[in-house]
């Protein structure tokens, strides 16, 4: 029996090959017989312990949500950086948070590997709009996304609690839950100030918020 990957014939099928991870091989029993493609099963993880499949699936779903938030912030950042919008500190604010959400998604995927789970990439939803009427509207949309993310984190933590997964609970408590609440508070504060100053109707108020509030934060960084 011959084993072929693509067009290359590699020789007799070794006895241990069935334990290799995720192989698709082509088998030919003789030169005159049709080749048969066989998908060899992946073995179970050697590090997986007390990791419930529902937690594994929920973690993948939340990673996709973090990537959606990163995509949303990235779209806002580059819209606000346009020459006809000119809110460079708003833009920098959203760009930094886009990077933060991307890092959080990567951290979740790293945890998935450490726990012996399998990463499953979902479709990432694009932003519902690609233009925003004002900095206030961009902040309001971001606040809605962050509240959705917070609810997803709470649901994931509740699931981990129900499935008796203290490691996942600790991971979320130390690196996600408090950070998410702080960011929601920051966004809500910005939305309140922008509403009070009437920035949606007053370009000068929006400009001053961009320069003095968000710009001052950039200097401190």
Q: 119: closest CA among 109, 134, 104?
A: 109
- Phi first, then psi, for residue 43 (nearest 5°) are -75, 160
Binding-site residue numbers for Fe cation are 66, 146, 180
Contact call for residues 202 and 209 (beta carbons, < 8 A): no
- Residue positions in the annotated binding site? 66, 146, 180
Helix (H, G, I), strand (E, B) or coil at 179: helix
Q: How many CB atoms lie within 10 A of CB 108?
A: 23
- Do the beta carbons of residue 136 and residue 191 sit within 8 Å? yes
Cβ burial 145-180 (10 Å sphere, 16+ → b, else e)? bbeebbebbeebbebbeebebeebbebbeeebbeeb
Instruction: Report d(CA 217, CA 42) in Å as an integer.
Output: 50
């Amino acid at each position: 029996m011959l084993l072929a990957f693509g067009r290359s014939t590699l020789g007799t099928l070794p006895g241990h090959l069935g334990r290799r991870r995720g192989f698709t091989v082509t088998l030919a029993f003789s030169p005159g017989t049709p080749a048969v493609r066989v998908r060899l099963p992946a073995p179970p993880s050697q590090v997986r312990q007390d990791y419930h499949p529902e937690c594994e699936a929920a973690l993948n779903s939340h990673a996709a949500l973090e990537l959606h938030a990163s995509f949303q912030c990235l779209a806002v950042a580059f819209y606000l950086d346009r020459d006809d919008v000119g809110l460079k500190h708003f833009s920098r604010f959203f760009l930094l948070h886009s990077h933060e959400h991307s890092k959080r998604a990567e951290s979740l995927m790293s945890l998935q590997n450490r726990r012996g789970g399998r990463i499953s990439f979902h479709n990432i939803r694009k932003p519902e709009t690609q233009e925003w009427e004002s900095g206030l509207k961009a902040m309001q949309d971001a606040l809605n996304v962050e509240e959705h993310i917070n609810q997803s984190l709470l649901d994931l933590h509740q699931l981990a609690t129900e499935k008796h997964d203290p490691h996942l609970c600790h991971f979320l408590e130390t690196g996600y839950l408090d950070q998410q609440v702080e960011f929601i508070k920051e966004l809500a504060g910005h939305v309140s100030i922008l509403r009070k100053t009437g920035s949606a109707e007053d370009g000068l108020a929006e400009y001053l918020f961009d320069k003095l509030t968000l710009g001052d934060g950039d200097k401190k960084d």
